[in-house]
């Protein structure tokens, strides 16, 4: 079958790994379906795959067919759109917390081919109100935008969100979703054309990149930030936007810690819960007096042990959940 695929990891020359040609048709495991692809869309992830970049420790096995998102038809002609997030068969709850989650072109071949194979539950029936063309671009970018706005930001209708880089796929999704949800949407772009596009999509206001804003906003979504490798204190001290993002995320961390059950805090007594909650108080009441050195030291010295503790707690919760599911599956021996 015809396919667009990566032959190897090429960090410095990604297009050298890009090939177009014939690949074997995929086998269909039990519980999976074959989708004849009619429309597929590009994502930045495709460039990551060509470069050999992966968020999974296992890495990528080449050659691999590219593509995360697509629409098409099943063997019986049913129109479907591919839901890209795949994971463990027995996982329940937030899919992004599943240790086994992945998307096409990571552990399985992607969607840039005549056919793609996905779990049956990932082939969603396509209604007549949405064309295959539009459906094929909704997956990765729009799901990420949806999660950022409605799961992570904590925003309520009427509050303001700032979207950095107004013309990217995720940014254009954020603007439209934010406007539809009743948020006040601000956007930035380096070009006048980008700012005009943002406002045509629904942004209430747009600003040139790095221009001071008229007021502080409760949420900033930036999926185009620069690489922080080699980012030292002096750069941090001079980067006003970075300091604001750190302050906002520390406020969110502080507020989240207040909402955790007392039983969990008592069980994990080694974690300085009062100090974490106190960060928010400092930032809310002494915003203009928060010294860059304090923010830097907090990030460099205090967050890594907290991250490790959170991952350990998460593993305990996942293990306990798995055991409960196994007990539920086992026949009653009484």
Return all residues near 158 (Cβ < 8 A) that are at least 6 apart: 182, 183, 184
Token duo for residue 84: 């890209």
So what's the pLDDT on residue 281?
65
Sheet containing 69-73: give its strands across. Answer: 115-119, 32-41, 69-73, 79-82, 123-125
Q: Classify 314 as helix, strand or coil.
A: helix
CA-CA distance, 86 to 102, in Å (whole number)?
A: 5
Query: Per CATH, the architecture of 139-225 is what?
Result: 3-Layer(aba) Sandwich (3.40)
Beta bridge partners of 269: none
| Conformation bin of residue 77: beta by default, left when phi > 0, alpha when psi is -120 to 50 | left
What's the length of the chain? 334
For 73, counting Cβ atoms within 10 Å of its Cβ (0-12 exposed, 13-18 middle, 19+ buried), the class is: middle
CA-CA distance, 247 to 290, in Å (whole number)?
A: 9
CA-CA distance, 90 to 31, in Å (whole number)?
A: 13
Per-residue pLDDT of the chain (334 residues; tens, 9 = 90+): 999 999 999 988 999 999 999 999 999 999 999 999 999 999 989 999 999 888 777 788 999 999 999 999 999 999 999 999 998 888 877 777 777 889 999 999 999 999 999 999 999 999 888 999 999 999 988 998 998 899 888 889 999 999 988 888 889 999 999 999 999 999 999 899 999 999 999 999 999 988 888 998 888 888 765 555 456 788 777 777 777 778 777 877 777 777 778 887 888 887 888 878 777 666 655 544 456 777 787 777 777 777 777 777 766 665 665 565 555 555 544 3
So what's the pLDDT on residue 309?
76
Does the pTM surpass 0.95? The reply is no
2-136 maps to CATH 3.90.79.10: no
205-208 vs 184-189, strand pairing mode: parallel
So what's the pLDDT on residue 251?
77
Beta bridge partners of 188: 207
| Conformation bin of residue 59: beta by default, left when phi > 0, alpha when psi is -120 to 50 | left
- Name the DSSP class of 23: -
- List of long-range contacts for 197-202, beta carbons under 8 Å, 24+ apart: 197/166, 197/167, 197/172, 198/163, 198/166, 198/167, 198/171, 201/172, 201/175, 201/176, 202/175, 202/176, 202/178
CA dihedral for 265, 270, 274, 279, sign (positive or negative) = negative
So what's the pLDDT on residue 327?
58
Q: Classify 36 as helix, strand or coil.
A: strand
So what's the pLDDT on residue 333?
43
CA-CA distance, 127 to 134, in Å (whole number)?
A: 12
Tokens 């999974």 belong to which residue?
Answer: 56
So what's the pLDDT on residue 206?
95
């Amino acid at each position: 079958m015809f396919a667009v695929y990566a032959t190897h990891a090429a960090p410095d020359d990604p297009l050298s790994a890009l090939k177009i040609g014939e690949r074997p048709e995929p086998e269909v495991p039990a519980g999976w379906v074959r989708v004849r692809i009619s429309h597929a869309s590009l994502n930045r992830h495709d460039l990551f795959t060509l470069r050999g970049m992966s968020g999974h420790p296992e890495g990528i096995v080449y050659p691999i067919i590219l593509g995360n998102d697509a629409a098409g038809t099943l063997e019986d002609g049913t129109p479907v759109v591919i839901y890209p997030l795949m994971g463990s068969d027995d996982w329940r709850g937030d899919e992004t917390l599943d240790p086994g989650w992945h998307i096409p072109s990571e552990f399985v071949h992607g969607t840039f081919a005549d056919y793609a194979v996905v779990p049956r539950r990932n082939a969603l029936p396509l209604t007549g109100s949405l064309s295959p063309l539009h459906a094929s671009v909704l997956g990765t970018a729009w799901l990420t935008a949806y999660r950022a706005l409605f799961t992570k930001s904590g925003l309520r209708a009427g509050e303001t969100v700032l979207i950095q880089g107004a013309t990217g796929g995720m940014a254009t999704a954020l603007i439209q979703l934010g406007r539809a949800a009743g948020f006040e949407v601000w956007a930035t772009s380096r070009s006048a054309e980008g700012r005009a596009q943002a406002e045509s999509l629904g942004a209430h206001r747009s600003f040139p990149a790095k221009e001071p804003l008229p007021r502080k906003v409760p949420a900033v979504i930036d999926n185009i930030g620069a690489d922080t490798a080699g980012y030292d204190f002096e750069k941090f001290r001079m980067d006003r936007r970075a300091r604001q993002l750190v302050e906002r995320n520390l406020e969110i961390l502080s507020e989240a810690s207040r909402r955790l059950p007392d039983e969990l805090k008592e069980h994990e007594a080694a974690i300085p819960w009062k100090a974490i909650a106190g960060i928010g108080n400092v930032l809310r009441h002494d915003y203009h007096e928060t010294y860059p050195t304090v923010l830097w030291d907090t990030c460099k010295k205090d967050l890594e042990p907290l991250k490790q503790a959170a991952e350990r707690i998460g593993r305990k919760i996942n293990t306990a959940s798995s055991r409960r599911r196994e007990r539920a599956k086992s026949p009653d021996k009484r």
